[in-house]
Amino acid sequence: MADPDQTAPALKPSTVAVHAGRPPREVDQPFNEPVTFASTYVAGGDLEYGRYANPTWTAFETALGELEGGRCLAFASGLAAVSVLLDLVGHEALVVAPSTAYQGTLGQLADLEMRGRVRTKLVEMHDTEAAVAACDDAALVWIETPSNPNLDVADLDPIVEAAHEAGAYVVVDNTFATPLLQTPLAQGADVVLHSATKYLAGHSDVVMGALVTRDDELFTILKQRRDLLGAIPGPMETWLALRGLRTLHLRVERSQANAAELARRLEGHPAVSLVRYPGFGGMVSIELAAGALAADLLPRKTRLWVHATSLGGVESSMERRRRWKAESPTVDESLVRLSVGIEDVEDLWADVSSALDDLT
Ligand SMILES: *Cc1c(COP(=O)(O)O)cnc(C)c1O
């Protein structure tokens, strides 16, 4: 942050989201770090080349690093960050991962396993006993909580403890919760992963990822992998993501309030057989009594809610997850994932409830 006062009490996350990663507060300095379009820098300094460093990345990384409580690296996408992490483990090492999680993460793991690069063990991470038992012999334990799209919540403390006893790294995909609702590094996780595409950027206009770690040695390894693989974001995308991050707390607060209210009302709708809502965050998944066909129809009947994949934008959107061939068979055929935005909750309810009425 600009001019940190070491004696001041720690700032609250919403203040950090607004202020962290600003240029120095000096006469004629801009409020915001500009977009630096540069492939190279005049020699003799630390930046050197555009694949190694960019001042716009640094501003974003400072802000997200402060929010998560570690050192951050920006990546080209969430999945670029996933691939750098999976690259950490040795040949044929054991990766323990959730049986239901973001399909791209599970897809990368399945691909690595098929090629003999790693071994994988899939468990239900919200089944703490099973998760803890699976950690034995692991090199990497992957947790996503709440999970995509079933919104199951893992109990981090005992799993982190068991993983560390086995000498494994613990990665937590914190995309759904955001650092405002959960800070896994403070609970002992080694790395936090974000698809910044979602809540952090928040306006459905950027694809970007990030990793955050407290461990300097791990940070150096991950930075080296990013340098070598070139999995870097564009400066414009990074600037947009930081612009989005400035209002993260307001967006999360509003979409969470909307989501909690909609989850409560959806419980009472006859077309809905199950509401999955972990009690926090802006994501709600529902399963429909009338099955897959009804779930395919629902997003086509809404006028306000957009039928689209992805999540975490200011606009509410929804989709039936199993319309994707790659989605895990552990996800119900009738599951519709709702990304609740920041609109007026009454407008959202009127739209989704009348679409649901049409299905009964
Ligand atoms: C979207 C998503 C990813 C992948 O991120 P991209 O930015 O799309 O590459 C990873 N994890 C979760 C939980 C996601 O929702």
> Using CA positions, which residue lies closest to atom 6 of ligand 1?
78
Q: Report whether 161 contacts 190 (CB < 8 A).
A: no
Q: Is the dihedral of CA 194, 198, 202, 207 positive or negative?
A: positive
Q: Please give the structure tokens belonging to residue 41.
A: 């820098």
Predicted local distance difference test score (pLDDT) of residue 224: 97
Q: 77 CA to middle of ligand 1, Å?
A: 8
Q: Report whether 322 contacts 331 (CB < 8 A).
A: yes
- How do the domains of the chain map onto residue ranges? 12-245, 248-357
Mutate-to-test residue for ligand 1 from 125, 153, 194, 197, highest number of ligand atoms within 8 A of CB: 197
Asked: is 248-357 a CATH 3.40.50.1100 domain? The reply is no
Residues with a catalytic annotation lie at 51, 102, 173, 198
**What angle, 0 to 180 degrees and rounded to 10, lies between the N-to-C axes of helices 248-267 and 345-359?**
40
Query: Fold for domain 12-245?
Result: Aspartate Aminotransferase; domain 2 (3.40.640)
320 forms bridges with which residues in the sheet?
A: 336
- Give the C-alpha separation, 270 to 268, whole Å: 6
Distances from the Cα of 50 to the Cα of 154, 210, 239, angstroms? 38, 17, 15
User: CB under 6 Å to ligand 1: residues?
Assistant: 77-79, 102, 104-105, 144, 148, 173, 175-176, 195, 197-198, 207, 209
Predicted local distance difference test score (pLDDT) of residue 24: 97
Low-confidence stretches of the chain (pLDDT < 70) are 1-7
Predicted local distance difference test score (pLDDT) of residue 63: 98
Helix/strand/coil (H/E/C) assignment for every residue in the chain = CCCCCCCCCCCCHHHHHHHCCCCCCCCCCCCCCCCCCCCECCCCCCCCECCCCCHHHHHHHHHHHHHHCCEEEEECCHHHHHHHHHCCCCCCCEEEEECCCCHHHHHHHHHHHHCCCCEEEEECCCCHHHHHHHCCCCCEEEEECCCCCCCCCCCHHHHHHHHHHCCCEEEEECCCCHHHHCCHHHHCCCEEEEECCCCCCCCCCCCCEEEEECCHHHHHHHHHHHHHHCCCCCHHHHHHHHHHHCCHHHHHHHHHHHHHHHHHHHHCCCCEEEEECCCCCCEEEEEECCCHHHHHHHHHHCCCCEECCCCCCCCCEEEEHHHCCCCCCCCCCCEEEEECCCCCHHHHHHHHHHHHHHHC
Predicted local distance difference test score (pLDDT) of residue 8: 76
Mutate-to-test residue for ligand 1 from 77, 103, 194, 198, highest number of ligand atoms within 8 A of CB: 198
Q: What pLDDT digit, counting tens, does each position of 118-162 carry?
A: 999 999 999 999 999 999 999 999 999 999 999 999 999 999 999
Q: 200 CA to middle of ligand 1, Å?
A: 12
Nearest to 254 by CA among 358, 355, 180, 157: 180
Q: 267 CA to middle of ligand 1, Å?
A: 28
Atom of ligand 1 nearest to the CA of 175: 13
Write down how long the chain is: 360
Q: 79 CA to middle of ligand 1, Å?
A: 6
Q: Please give the structure tokens belonging to residue 353.
A: 């409830």
> Using CA positions, which residue lies closest to atom 4 of ligand 1?
78
Q: Please give the structure tokens belonging to residue 281.
A: 């965050």
Predicted local distance difference test score (pLDDT) of residue 9: 81
Q: 30 CA to middle of ligand 1, Å?
A: 32
Q: What pLDDT digit, counting tens, does each position of 240-284 carry?
A: 999 999 999 999 999 999 999 999 999 999 999 999 999 999 999
Predicted local distance difference test score (pLDDT) of residue 360: 80
Give Cα 312 to chain centroid, integer Å. Answer: 9
